Amino acid sequence: MPVVWDFIQNQLLGMKWLNELIGMGLSALGLDITGKIGGSVQFFLYDVIKITVLLCFLIFFISYIQSYFPPERSKKILGRFHGIWANIIAALLGTVTPFCSCSSIPLFIGFTSAGLPLGVTFSFLISSPMVDLGSLLLLSSIFGWKIAVAYVAVGLMIAVAGGTLIEKLHMEEYVESFIKSASAVDVESPALSQKERLAYAKDQVLNTFKKVFPYILVGVGIGAVIHNWIPEHWIEAVLGSNNPFGVILATIIGVPMYADIFGTIPVAEALLFKGAQLGTILSFMMAVTTLSLPSMIMLRKAVKPKLLALFIGICTAGIILVGYLFNVFHYLFI
């Protein structure tokens, strides 16, 4: 079994054969892949192609699943549960919905307008950009299945805990009045044929790819620079074990950035290779995907400053806590 799993992780998901093939091709063209320029080109081509292939496959698969969970059906599913179970279901539902925080917010507004408990909708809002089925496989292809599963698990725990806390604090009065007064139109979604579901999945691949691909290029480009040009001792000094504030710094750096999990992973991969701590890297990834400035600006249109500040505070505290815990117990995963 270990041999089979290693083959799946390294050759199918990790596509190590592709890296070797690109290396041989660049060497045949006279490029020294052990040098900074050749190594950067190899890293860039390999990660762009690998992530693009995995991205398209995963989006198609996830979108097909998502076709069974339109907003109306999702609302009905969430409405059947109460208490912490509602938060858990909302967090899990977030794993099969949009890939970035900005596209999750309209669904959050719709769920809130429909009268679902505020804490439940926030569990969905935290989970949706932070973790999804795609991130599980893509993270596994680069970091291994232990880190991938752990990342998804802690992301779900932050979503459930954050939503539960907001629910307990009764923050409904801090939702903008136009959201609370909006009339929810309960429209029964038409049953889709298999052909229509496949067409929907194909359209989602094209639309999401157009939106995400620029961030992949930027993320892989930054990763290539870190991987081949920035000295290892620089990364270790800033984000390594000798800096007790590395997790906090990584979280702060991640907030102004805007990318989804697919654009963030190449940067994280390069940082890990250069000696950054695992928890510090995961905190950076979570901050980028969950607390980006564009999504916070959009969310401010729906909630008042006090609730927005609470949401940011809960997410930030959870992300930093997770970062330090992973740094302490990193030996269990690497």
Please classify residue 5 by burial: count the beta carbons closer than 10 Å to its beta carbon, then call 0-12 exposed, 13-18 middle and 19+ buried: exposed
Q: Average pLDDT, stretch 287-293?
A: 77
Give CA–CA dist 278/326, Å, rounded: 6
Give CA–CA dist 141/148, Å, rounded: 9
* Residue 197, pLDDT above cutoff 90: no
Structure tokens at 233: 């001792």
**DSSP H or E run through 254:** helix 246-254
Q: Average pLDDT, stretch 93-122?
A: 74
* Residue 230, pLDDT above cutoff 70: yes
pLDDT digits (tens, 9 = 90+) for 233-272: 777 777 887 788 989 988 888 776 656 666 787 888 888 8
pLDDT at 201: 86
pLDDT at 187: 44
* Residue 203, pLDDT above cutoff 80: yes
Amino acid letter, residue 146: K
Q: Average pLDDT, stretch 58-84?
A: 75
Does residue 303 sit in helix, strand or coil? Answer: strand
Structure tokens at 189: 């979604």
* Residue 332, pLDDT above cutoff 90: no
How far from chain centre, in Å, is Cα 65? 18
Q: Average pLDDT, stretch 306-311?
A: 90
- Domain ranges for the chain, please list them: 81-181+210-332
Amino acid letter, residue 331: Y
pLDDT at 21: 93
* Residue 185, pLDDT above cutoff 50: no
pLDDT at 306: 92
Beta bridge partners of 175: 303
pLDDT at 102: 57
pLDDT digits (tens, 9 = 90+) for 149-175: 888 888 899 999 999 999 999 888 888
